[in-house]
Chain A
């Protein structure tokens, strides 16, 4: 960390870069703590404990307990790490699809381009949540359904960005020269195009993350996502609906707030990365 910081300092006197890096680092540490927390926290804390039912937030139970006496803090942290996991799979899958289709649209001729832009339109023409419900229904819900649904629906906007970017690189002189020198398409794609779109890809990936996590929580909340046995945030919130009218606000307030913070952190990392990358690119 320190050497890279010094290095950055030497190249540009800008303070912005250091600050941005620092922010990213803090965000990553925070997320790492959440994930570790989810993995390491004792399962014993969420077993049914009828002696401590429905207790409001206190020092012992930071987020209170639910109607079965389960510790809401533990459930929330576990739910968050589950959300991050699902988000990770979904975002990686979507990014790969976007990369593949974006590249194909830009390099494989006019027909492929038309076809792919038609597919993109196809996905954008149905409300996102309805598509997710449809796919979840097809796969019978559950973990598989939600992950496949998230993967299949988040790529269109990123694919468009990548397509435009690849188009730009492709018409650059050095690529033209490389083509004339008889390099194969694959070689050019791998050695010339991919390095150029890597930053866009990374930023796109980070900015997909929040969407994926929020959609996962939403679909799970609607009852078409993860199964009720999982400690997912969507499950926690939809269960809490039954108890809200009896005044147990902590069941909904803290888990949702934590989800908000985690999503916002991912968003921040993405935005900061964008600042960082566009700076170095100038």
Chain B
């Protein structure tokens, strides 16, 4: 019995993997074509400020060095085979391997995103539960209003507001950057890093709660309308005990799934928050690559963010298979 369950799960993951592979190949191909058709000249991006010092001959040399004089298909093949080997090329603006930059930036972003993810998940869940338990009261209406308003709030504006209030007016936190300016990297302490992390995390979390809260509220309202809750109420259970015994398990799972499935928005939020607070993460790298025409870095980031979103969706699917006892029951039949 157990074996067949494991096999089914394995098959499921395999199918997901195959689908992901086709999508990833397509995305590599499409984004490569898109980037190659850009009017932004990669050689220009490479040369940067030394534009006047570089003659046409040197330009040709640079193009040859980067393989930019080859036909697009040849370029794609050489890039594609490099990607398969795990080498994403060399970033033109950082002059370092793309995989190295992504790895380093991802660590920064990961801390930011995990913190925001947990915080928004927990707060959103609690808000949703409170709203549903107090359905129809002013608390419920307040939370609903707050969530709907948040859904229309530009992330970067929220970041700016938080920056104005906490960094400029109150002066509690530094204005930006991942680490203090003018301090050697080995002298940067953990406290410094956390201090620079709080405001971006706050920005993403404040906006991230809306989805989970509204979803949880709706689910819990459905649960509270069920027969078993009616029976529990008839036995005299109410308030927190009622929620703890009959509500929590039923609404926690959809909330977790939703939170995993929101990795795409999390990434988008991180891009904007990192830009506002000039936090050196993946998002900022994406914007810089886009603005300054760093083709290898941009492509690497597209692929990486796709994998990131895929992992989120996979975790969302798996959380159902692994955490929900009802899924196991169905299998046995």
Contact = CB atoms under 8 A, between A and B. Distances in A.
Interface of A: 118, 121-122, 124-130, 133-140, 210, 214, 217-218, 221-224, 237, 240-241, 244-245, 247, 249, 252-253, 256-257, 259-260, 263-264, 267
Contacts of B169: 247, 249
Given A125-B310, A256-B160, A260-B152, 7 more contacts: A125-B23, A127-B263, A222-B275, A222-B291, A244-B163, A245-B168, A252-B160
A122 B29 CA distance: 12
B154 interface: yes
**Which 4 interchain pairs have the tightest Cβ spacing?**
A256-B157, A129-B268, A263-B152, A140-B39
A90 B153 CA distance: 19
A80 to B, nearest CB: 13
18 contacts: A118-B23, A130-B286, A133-B287, A133-B298, A134-B31, A134-B302, A137-B34, A138-B38, A139-B39, A218-B154, A218-B268, A221-B156, A244-B168, A247-B168, A247-B169, A249-B169, A253-B161, A256-B154
Given A127-B309, A260-B149, A134 B298 contact: yes
Contacts of B37: 138
Interface residues of B, number: 54
Given A137-B298, A224-B290, A130 B23 contact: no
A130 B161 contact: no
Given A252-B161, A256-B160, A256-B161, A222 B305 contact: no
Contacts of B220: none
Given A124-B264, A241-B276, A224 B287 contact: yes
A137 B290 CA distance: 6
B164 interface: yes
A191 B27 CA distance: 38
Contact of B164 (A218, A253, A257, A267): A253
B290 A133 contact: yes
A210 B153 CA distance: 10
A126 B35 contact: no
B242 interface: no
A247 B149 CA distance: 26
B9 to A, nearest CB: 21
A130 B301 CA distance: 8
B175 interface: yes
Interface in B248-277: 263-265, 267-268, 271-272, 275-276
Contacts of A129: 267-268, 271-272
Interface string B14-32: 0000011011001100110
A210 B152 contact: yes
